[in-house]
């Protein structure tokens, strides 16, 4: 989970010093579908996109303002060792509780308050939805939504977070469209 937050911080710094970042790393998106090896989503137009093999980061105004992160977590390697493990065969509510435990183990989330923990469909499969608020070290309050789905050896997460004031509600609909377009790819599917 710390690696997850570190990616966001790195991307924020990259956005602040774009002259130091290769153009192939940051690109302005004109919409359309971006395929990955294991998933695809329909991207919103005119958002900045940063992508790698296992994750996709999107923002309209910069990561301190809002961010959408689509990530494939390895059950074996990507979660806090001191938090509740996420295991194959867990029910969606158990996945959500373990995922939340991993978020709580990350000390960058201060004063975390869970607003909603509910089942949700993702890519036509049973998953979970978490809605929560947290504060940064500087005292800024963020609101976040995580959709999660356990499939095989991976947990797929689509996260949206933005400051509670103005930005969260401003781009929430775009996030829901991205989350609604998420599709897992079966092996052998063409890109």
Q: Output phi, psi for 14, to 5 deg.
A: -65, -35
Q: Please give the share of the chain, as a percent, with pLDDT higher than 70.
A: 78
172 by Cβ neighbours in 10 Å (0-12 / 13-18 / 19+) ranks as middle
- Average pLDDT of every residue of the chain: 82
Q: Choose which CATH entry (3.40.50.1970, 3.30.2350.10, 2.30.40.10, 3.40.1000.10) describes domain 2-184.
A: 3.40.1000.10
Domain ranges of the chain: 2-184
Select from 154, 103, 147, 104 the least CA-distant residue to 128.
Answer: 147
Q: Output phi, psi for 95, to 5 deg.
A: -60, -45
Measured between alpha carbons, how far is 133 from 70 in angstroms, rounded to an integer?
19
Q: Output phi, psi for 179, to 5 deg.
A: -60, -40
pLDDT of res. 34: 57
Per-residue pLDDT band at 58 (split at 50, 70, 90):
very high
Q: Which residues pair with 48 in a beta bridge?
A: 28, 59
pLDDT in tens, 179-191: 999 999 876 444 4
Q: Does the predicted TM-score (pTM) go above 0.85?
A: no
């Amino acid at each position: 989970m710390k690696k997850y937050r570190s990616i966001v911080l790195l991307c924020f710094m990259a956005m602040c010093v774009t002259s130091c970042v290769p153009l192939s790393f940051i690109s302005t998106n004109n919409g359309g579908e971006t395929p990955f090896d294991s998933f695809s989503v329909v991207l919103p137009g005119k958002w900045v996109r940063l992508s790698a093999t296992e994750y996709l980061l999107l923002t309209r105004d910069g990561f301190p303002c809002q961010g959408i992160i689509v990530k494939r977590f390895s059950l074996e390697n990507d979660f806090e060792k001191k938090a509740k493990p996420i295991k194959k065969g867990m029910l969606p509510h158990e996945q959500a509780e373990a995922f939340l435990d991993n978020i709580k183990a990350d000390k960058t989330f201060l004063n975390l308050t869970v607003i909603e923990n509910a089942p949700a469909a993702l890519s036509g499969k049973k998953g979970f939805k978490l809605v929560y608020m947290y504060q940064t070290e500087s005292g800024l309050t963020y609101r976040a939504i995580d959709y999660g789905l356990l499939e095989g050896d991976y947990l797929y997460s689509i996260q949206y977070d933005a400051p509670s004031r103005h930005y969260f509600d401003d781009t929430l609909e775009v996030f829901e469209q991205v989350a609604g377009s998420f599709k897992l790819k079966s092996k052998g599917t063409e890109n």
